[in-house]
Amino acid sequence: MGKRDYSLLGADGKRAVESGLTAAEWYHSDVPRKVMKDLMARSDGPAIRDTVTLCGCMILFAGIGITLWPSWWSAPFWLAYGVLYGSASDSRWHECGHGTAFKTPWMNNVVYEIASFMIMRNSATWRWSHARHHSETYLVGRDPEIAVMRPPEVAKLVLNFFGIMDVIAFFPRILSNAVSGPTAEERTYVPHNEWGKVQRVAIIHVATYGATVGLAVWMGSILPLMVIGLPRMYGAWHHVMTGLLQHGGLADNVIDHRLNSRTVYMNPISRFIYWNMNYHVEHHMFPMVPYHALPRLHEAIRDDLPPPNRSIAEAFREMWPAIRRQVLNEDYYVRRALPPTAKPYREDLHQYVPGVTQPGAAE
Amino acid sequence: MPWIDACSRDDIDVEDLIRWDHAGQTFAIYRSPEGEFYATAGLCTHENVHLCDGLVMGHLIECPKHNGQFDYRTGEARRTPACVNLRTFPVKIEGDRVFVELA
């Protein structure tokens, strides 16, 4: 394939549309309708429990951190608070953006807005970028959320464990959004009627960070920034660690999530922080299944999936060498063997759906 | 306006839907919690995903891909990313059969 053009306005994106790749129907494992309805059923209980636990822990750790500040004895509590602020916010942003975490819509929306602020994402643009990520997962030039672009820039991946690349990208963009609404690339996936909201959200974010910095200057201390802002950096490592595993080292430009996504068994703490997104093949194949039902979905379709990685460490042992090989050969990817019970990987582009233009039909 | 015999009443569970293809078009036929039947275009107006794999919650159908939602009685788009209303079609019941009127 050669050099990839990840620009949403570039040649690869145009080629993906022209070839029919973007209109293709993705592979789905067979799940009986009644089972799927049960899996998709919504409930407020699990997410309320988890949100109360998360907020309680954040208040506790930040409170102890503030009490012990500026002693180094406060450091462990900041590290714990930071992971909840700078990593758990990623999964809350994600699940509430899908609208599946809670049954009650306003609960999803409230947590989504707060988590978006914490993870430094404009809630009005990222809702749409994530929709594109699900429609066109790892299609080069179409998916705006490709975490590991090829050839990988390993130094940038490492720096992002401390949120450095994300934060550097965030502030110019949120300032631009506050002044003039969505950027040219964002306008390719955010509908026109949402552009005003993009600007309003950006103004709120900028004002909040401005007030926090002002308070820090007035106090002559970075303490306010330890609570708001900096944990997006010192607590980012967990969501970067788990986020890289979602698709890192796997295929791009395919229409079978078993080829481009990874399911990893994780410890209970990571699963709480990550809200079960370690079941990532399952999530991409059936995005309307709430996080708390993903383990059941995994059991229902596991015979049709590549074997999951048994731990975070094992998954990194698969992914990291692949990323390093991609530095020299960007076309390399890990293609995992399917069990004998699985259907073959989907290599064809389409199944017929009446009313949808077929690829090549106009040629 | 022809009325087309689409399916049996018992083909659709209460608070559920099925896919129905006819004459090169695809549709979704619903049975509400009250037992009433409705029909809409089959594809989400956001990105051509078929609604037949979505979840019916009361009078809403949720797109299985991005959670765009529609009131299937009126076709009104109720949640982003769906912004364009869904086309609806009249439905009548004769005996055990569900008929859809196609324009």
Structural domain includes residue A349:
no
- Nearest CA among B39, B21, B41 for reference residue B30: B39
- A297 and B CB contact within 8 Å: no
| Structural contact between residues B17 and B31, judged by C-beta atoms closer than 8 angstroms | yes
Q: How far is B78 from chain A (nearest CA, A)?
A: 11
Residue corresponding to tokens 């099925």: B18
Alpha-carbon distance of A63 to B48, in angstroms, equals: 49
Report CA dihedral (A266, A270, A271, A274) to the nearest 10 degrees.
-120
Q: Chain B residues with CB inside 8 Å of A128's CB?
A: 81
Interface membership of A41 toward B (CB under 8 Å): yes
The predicted-structure confidence for A149-177, as pLDDT tens digits, reads as follows: 999 999 999 999 999 999 999 999 999 99
A80 part of a folded domain: yes
Residue A340: how many other CB atoms lie within 10 Å: 6
Inspect the interface and report whether the beta carbons of A127 and B80 lie closer than 8 Å.
yes
Chain A nearest C-alpha distance from B56 (Å): 9
A357 occurs within a structural domain: no
Closest CB from B48, B53, B83 relative to A356: B48
Residue A107 near chain B (CB below 8 Å): no
Size of interface A-B (CB pairs under 8 A): 57
Tokens of A354: 């009446």
Has residue A94 got a pLDDT over 50?
yes
d(CA A360, CA A20): 7
Q: In whole numbers, what is the pLDDT of chain A averaged over residues? A: 92
Please state the domain extents for chain B: 3-93
**What is d(CA A89, CA A120) in angstroms, rounded to the nearest whole number?**
10
Provide mean pLDDT across the span A198-204: 97
The answer to whether the Cβ–Cβ distance between A354 and B79 falls below 8 Å is no
Domains identified in chain A, total number: 1
Q: Is the pLDDT of residue A21 over 90?
A: no
Backbone angles phi, psi at A205, to 5 degrees: -60, -50
pLDDT at position B21 over 90: yes
For A135, the closest of B26, B47, B79 (CB atoms) is B47
Q: Does domain B3-93 have CATH number 2.102.10.10?
A: yes
Tell me: the pLDDT tens digits for A251-280?
999 999 999 999 999 999 999 999 999 999
CB contacts of A194 in chain B (<8 Å) are: 80
C-alpha distance across the termini of chain A, in Å: 23
pLDDT at A201: 97
Dihedral sign (CA A28, A29, A30, A34): negative
A286 in contact with B, Cβ within 8 Å: yes
For residues A29 and A176, what is the distance between their CA atoms, to the nearest angstrom? 42
Taking residue B85's Cβ as centre, other Cβ atoms within 10 Å add up to: 16
Which tens digits make up the pLDDT trace of A271-322?
999 999 999 999 999 999 999 999 999 999 999 999 999 999 999 999 999 9
ipTM, 2 dp:
0.87
**Residue A271 counted as domain residue:** yes
On chain B, the residues whose CB falls within 8 A of the CB of A105 are: 79
Q: Would you say residue A124 lies in a domain?
A: yes
Contact B43, A355 (CB under 8 A): yes
Measured distance CA(A272)–CA(A262) in Å, rounded: 18
Q: Domain span at residue A247?
A: 11-328
